Amino acid sequence: MFFDTDCGGVVHNIAYLRFIEIARTLLAEELGLGLAQMIEDKKYPVVVRTEIDYRRAAKLGDRLVVEGWLDQLERVRFWCAFRIVRPKDDALIAECRQTLTLIEMPAGKLLRLPEDWEKYRKPEANTPLSAPIAERARRTA
């Protein structure tokens, strides 16, 4: 989108974080944390850290794919990882890793992660967890 770029047609760094937010929301749905369900259950994933490496610039009109997966699990913390790629030349545009916790509101209580989330971890290197996440998170800059 034009609003994602600077006057030279290069995608802004903050736009990548928005693309990742979309992919993380879709991943949350697969984990049983769709927005409507979160509101009903009063359970919310909260980002506590974001690391992102920008590898190449994307430009206005580039079609990008965001791959997202559950990367690591601990008792009350989990990590999601993302790759943004440009399929036309297989260019890696950005890599991101986020640390999150699951919070029960309004108390702000940390929740133990559900045991069945383990099945959502990325099975092997360079394989997105779920094609639907990548497909649904497909973006045109």
pLDDT at site 31:
79
Q: Domain coordinates of the chain in residue numbers?
A: 2-140
Reduced DSSP (H G I as helix, E B as strand, rest coil) percent helix, strand, coil of the chain, to 5: 30, 40, 30
CA angle 138, 120, 46 (to 5 degrees): 75
- State the residue for tokens 């749905």: 29
Q: What is the number of other CB atoms lying within 10 angstroms of the CB of residue 80?
A: 26
Measured CA to CA, the distance from residue 77 to residue 101 in angstroms comes to 5
Q: Tens digit of pLDDT per residue, the chain (141 long)?
A: 677 788 888 898 999 999 999 999 998 888 777 888 888 999 999 999 999 999 999 999 999 999 999 999 999 999 999 999 999 999 999 999 999 999 999 999 999 998 888 887 876 544 444 444 444 455 555
Strands 43-54 and 63-73: unpaired
CATH of span 2-140: 3.10.129.10
